[in-house]
Structure 1
């Protein structure tokens, strides 16, 4: 009787304990779900294992050589980015990396001054190498103030351009610009600045190709341009037929292009714009079945920059001069300098006069990444920082005043802002100052 009563009294207690356990479990699970919804990064995810790839390697013994990418290349399949990184050696120890010397003049910080006495440094019609993409006056632009602005650094002066001194710096040398159409614009600017001091019968230029060469017999010198918009090998390396729906790069190899530039004495590199046009397909050198990975533009550009940096540190003769030109900003949204407006650079006739102005055309995360890579190279590479000074020049773009390679539609013609080129630069104009900065560094 006693035993029965004891068991009978314990039964409700066990039920209560069991129910309490269930309630606590439910509350705990709900709390966990709320926490996950609030902070999705706390969801356990399987992180891809990071594999470091040594770039710029020739085909291993016994392996078939990797096929060259061209505009006919395609990916057989596309998968998510595996997390592979570039392993490259740093040229300078931390103690020797680039430092900002506050006592030296910072020629990249300053303002634009209107100067119709010294600028332009050449006439548009006087340059036989002028591009129809950049000849704004020829194509109808009547306001010519964009040609008369001079860059004035704070507290010091930029080295004054001297065509004869520049030619003496180039005597017996090869100067090569490597990059995209913006770097090609700087190359054309350099030809226009230099050609006046050479005899017409002693200078020549090769037909437009991936590598185009301007030669001066008098100075035994060449000024060249190599089309390599993504630095590394890509399917967009044809200087004419490169408008492709699928952009593919070989992120760990720059050797095809390097074979063209490795014998130059002075190298001027740039890359930026082509990385801002959507995801990029990666075809690594050990992927011979056309299996690509896909990565956003910033991540892909970082891989390419590191592959380029590896070549500079391991393959390039340290006696040669290397310069890297930072990104050229675009001016696609007038609301950035004129709040409430809905236009772009079309009809703009004066620079932005707010010091320190930044627009979306200068991508800050990309700038930080480039600075990080270049910083590791130390004094091995000189940086020509054109970004902030060009950011002010919303007036310097061709807008509608250039040759367009495709026929414009009636709806475009009725709305000029819709087809304005707010990416490239009129000549004479802003790229002349980029070359003045290059001259200053040399």
Structure 2
């Protein structure tokens, strides 16, 4: 906590009072700081907690131009706020240091960190890594862009931290020094926030800057660091890499540095994307002491995460999967690729807010594996235009009803929206839950 002593006299502003912002405020208060709290909303979430627990704090709720941000020494900004917002950009140009909660964590923490980013699969990988380390006897913490805010993790003494990090969090992080780090994959996302696709990729790749071990995906060259330098690298991939998949004794196995390690059937969840996630975990955890039995126990008990290619039900020979977390094109491609058979066996429900992404990358996968593409939401017309197999509907109820009409024995109905949910739902979880409700409603 030496860094905290160094900034005791600094004027600190917490910008953004969502879940992250409130966590920052609580942490600073616990360390004896009295930060200023600023939010552009007149009545932000968390304001009632502030009024009850910290009424003494100086606050500004409303137009950021009137918040005097440039009078701060340090601004700790929530990841949902772009650094290009004029008031924030002006503060930066005035010499104010703008960081995120992950950066503050990095300046304080002294324990090993496993850091994971990527367009898809982050939550699954960090959760599985957490379970494996726990099975191996480590006292491990899981947080960041999943579950617990990173600063809340400092209240206990852990052996290792496993962090899921978004590009937004990485944009305000420079001091993190992971023991291992990976960019799992990269596909177009958040182009409404970045100037270009390359800017988004560069944000992801910054996770490697001070990592001791870099883990790359041989199936996605965009996950490779721009300047490899002398940092050790290991790789994972479907067919190539230090960690890959290959047949052994008549069954597909996880291959670890040339040796058959465990059969993929050890993993409780199925699908190629899940096997790749497990390989990524093995590569990331190579600096730790984990034996085959511990891996076997953890993998066999891991049932996946809700809304991530989650099996919902089988009705009249048709299986239904909820992948509402597929909020970008790459995630939808991964879901289709994982569940597809040789023919056109999938009925895909998609749509929402595409965030400016190029949807055409879906075309070859729809052509080869998809029987029907059912679209709804803000960018439904744009999505439907990429194939002559498309159908337009007004909402989830209509989409699921149509899917039940079109499906036949042996088909799979997959919710994999390729879009954000914000046009119609509070979040992807609510969207996935609504899909499940519609599937489980009275059958046709």
Q: TM-score, normalised by structure 2?
A: 0.30
User: Relative contact order: is structure 1 or structure 2 higher (C-alpha 8 Å, sep ≥ 6)?
Assistant: 1
Q: Flag the structure with larger Rg.
A: 1
Higher strand share: 2
Q: TM-score, normalised by structure 1?
A: 0.30
